Amino acid sequence: MNKIQELKNLLKEKAEQIKSARITCKNCQRGVTPYDYGNIGQSGLVKLARDYRHHHIAYCELRGTPREVIEQPRENNEPCESSITAIKERYSVLVTA
C-alpha cells in the first residue's frame, strides 16, 4: 500500500475516534449516560483533535498543498511546527522509497 494512502487511512481512523468521543461526551453532558467518557474525557478529545489537525496539515503539505490553502489560523492558534515536521519526516521517507 502507498504510504500516503496509509496516512490518509490513519486520518480517517482518527476522525472516527473523534466523532465517537464527541458523541460520548455530549451524551454524558446531556445526562443520557453516566459520566464515563471511556477513558477519553474532554481533555483527551482536545488532544485527539489537535493530533488530527497536525496529521492533516502534514498530509496536505506532503501532497503539495500550500499552508495558506490548508488553514488560516487565528492569532495565538498556530499549529505545532515540530509535530508537523516529525510527521512529514516519518511519511516523506516512506513516500519516496
pTM over 0.85: no
Roughly what angle, to the nearest 10 degrees, separates helices 81-96 and 41-62? 50
Q: What's the grid cell of residue 14?
A: 482518527
Tens-digit pLDDT string for the chain (97 aa):
588 889 999 999 999 999 988 888 888 778 776 665 555 667 788 899 999 999 999 999 999 999 999 999 999 999 999 999 999 999 886 544 4
